[in-house]
Amino acid sequence: MNTENFNFLDKLTCMYRLSATGKYIARDDVVLDFGCGVQNYLLNWGKDKFRFGYGLDYDVKDCQKGNIKLLNYRFEGKLPFEKNFFDKVFLLAVLEHIEEKNAGGLFSEFSRVLKAGGRLVITIPTLRGKAALELLALKLRILSFEEISDHKHYYNKGEIADLGSAYGLKMVEAKIFQLGMNSLYVLEKL
């Protein structure tokens, strides 16, 4: 979704998400931010923390600045990277925008491009978060209406663990944050 239209509260939520997920970046990592958005918050925030970062999103223009490369990209079954390319893949507030029927293909590709021991870091709103998001966006119009109305499915811990397991990714961490409104899952490639 187009992060250009984010308001202050949308941006604050993104920054809070970074505080929960940024700790998974290590100095020598090559990272992928899948669905980075035009603001590419994670990559800009972490540019001094990783070796190189790639951002994929259909709202960005192809460009490279320093150790960050953005690619205009829409997932159609294959990621444009070699096998075992990334140390970390981030999927922050994106999976809920993916049709359930496409999630398996996406996880298969994440597993393919991750190095052995590499990690997939995911955030997804919880059902409690869903209610709050819909109130704030769809009724009160405080958050991005476009962003929240595009949510397809709110995945739970069991669904994420099953998806990961089907593609050689083991859940190594699961927690709830943002006052119970958001979930964080970390899966490791076996």
The CATH superfamily label for domain 3-178 reads Vaccinia Virus protein VP39 (3.40.50.150)
Contacts of 136 (CB under 8 A, 6+ apart): 9, 142, 143, 148
Mean pLDDT of 43-58: 96
Domain coordinates in residue numbering, the chain: 3-178
**Portion of the chain with pLDDT greater than 70, in percent:** 94
pLDDT of residue 150 exceeding 70, the answer is yes
| Residue 5 pLDDT class (50, 70, 90 cuts) | low
Q: What is the pLDDT of residues 69-103, one digit of tens each?
A: 999 999 999 999 999 999 999 999 999 999 999 99
pLDDT of residue 1 exceeding 50, the answer is no
Neighbouring CB atoms inside 10 A of 1's CB total: 21
Mean pLDDT of 16-30: 92
Specify whether the CB–CB gap between 103 and 113 falls below 8 A: no
Instruction: Label residue 46 exposed, middle or buried (CB < 10 Å: 0-12, 13-18, 19+).
Output: buried
pLDDT of residue 175 exceeding 90, the answer is yes
